[in-house]
Amino acid sequence: METEIIWINIILPILIGPFFVFIKMTYDQHIMKINDMKLKKYNELKTSIKQKLDIFYWPIYLKLLCIYQLNYLIPELKDLCGNYSATSLNIDDNISDDMYVSMMYFNDIQSCGNNYLDKYTNSKIDSEILKIKQNQYCVECKNIIEKYIYICCPNNKLGVELINFVNHINISVIVNEKGVIYHNMNNLLSLIERDLYNNQEIYNNLINNGPYKST
């Protein structure tokens, strides 16, 4: 009886204790490796998305918006502002607030009614100045595409639009360095906007959720 008590109370804990300590250490190391992999994947994805947004998507998107607005104010280019496809998106609960604001913004511009651009169309604006600025923004967009297209890793549709835009600007600049560039960039603007807000949403979720929920 005393021998059984000694085995149960003294010897077994001495033998089993290190085994459970080993199991716990092994489990903790496994969890640590998993968390390290998640953190590495998270940091790589966050850096990649942030680079796309900072270097490519936001700069070219804002410049394309300027081109779009300048086209609206240049009489011979206003017709190019009539088929910006992003405004045809259905508005439902799955559309983010940023996308909704952007859609409403362009619905106002394209309505050709009472919006903030219309008040300038009847003013005495030097059309040549607008054309020069439009040309400048087109060339700046072309330079961004040529230098950083590898960062955005475009799909086939966006890739075709980007290449067409670059080729068109290159030819236009050769033909008339200081003249207006007649280019319908509505499809390009629409695709850039969609990718921009998709990437921005991914980045926001990464920041809000952290490395152990996002990956």
DSSP annotation string for 51-101: HIIIIIIHHHHHHHHHHHHHHHHSGGGGGGGS--GGGGS---TTS-HHHHH
Average pLDDT over every residue of 20-26: 75
pTM score: 0.71
Give the confidence band of 13 by pLDDT, cuts at 50, 70, 90.
low
Check residue 49 and give its pLDDT. 95
User: CB neighbours (10 Å) of residue 119?
Assistant: 9
Output the six-digit token pair for 160: 């075709």
Average pLDDT over every residue of 147-156: 91
Which of 187 and 51 is assigned the larger pLDDT?
A: 51
Which of 184 and 52 is assigned the larger pLDDT?
A: 52
Is residue 137 within 8 A of residue 143, CB to CB? The reply is: no
| pLDDT at residue 167 greater than cutoff 80 | yes
Check residue 133 and give its pLDDT. 87
Rounded Cα–Cα distance for residues 60 and 53 (Å) = 10
Task: Tell me what percent of the residues of the chain surpass a pLDDT of 90.
Answer: 26
Is residue 192 within 8 A of residue 158, CB to CB? The reply is: yes
